[in-house]
Homo-oligomer: A and B are copies of this chain.
Amino acid sequence: MAEKIYENEWIFIEQEAADIPWLKIFTQQQAKEMSDCDEATQQEIFRVLLILEKAMIRYFKPDKINIASFANYLPRVHWHIMARYRGDSHFPEPMWGARQREADLDIPEMTGFLENLSVLLDEAGK
């Protein structure tokens, strides 16, 4: 189950229930493809991806950030951004690939990250 943790005029963000830090960015405007969205929405997605990536690197210290946009089951644009670790369940495969192991991770609490999300997204780089 996903939980909405932020929204503004163009996008909203959900937290994916997973062993790793995993956020999903949806467009408020319902569209099948990124290029169907208006330019303000496209730019907001890219802005938020970069801010989230930097913040996730700083806070979670992952081995790699992964980003993806598929929506093959339900054609509604959304983007995944994930903090990946060598010891996570699928690394170095994508989270949609073959499971590699039982994850045994010691990573910072998501709560501390989420507390700063509004400050990050509402004040940074607008």
Which residues of A are interface residues toward B (Cβ below 8 A)?
Answer: 32-35, 42, 46, 49-50, 53-54, 57, 63-73, 75, 84, 91-94, 96-97
Of B32, B34, B54, B68, the residue contacting A94 (CB under 8 A) is: B68
Q: How many copies does the complex hold?
A: 2
Question: Which chain B residue shows the least CB distance to A82?
Answer: B70
B70 engages A34 (CB within 8 Å): no
**Known interface pairs A35-B57, A94-B96. Does A72 touch B68 (Cβ–Cβ under 8 Å)?**
no
Residues of B within 8 A of A34 (CB): 49-50, 53, 65, 67
Supply 15 further A-B pairs (C-beta < 8 A) apart from A34-B50, A34-B65, A35-B57. A33-B53, A33-B64, A33-B65, A64-B70, A66-B68, A67-B69, A68-B68, A68-B69, A68-B94, A72-B91, A72-B93, A93-B96, A94-B94, A94-B96, A96-B97
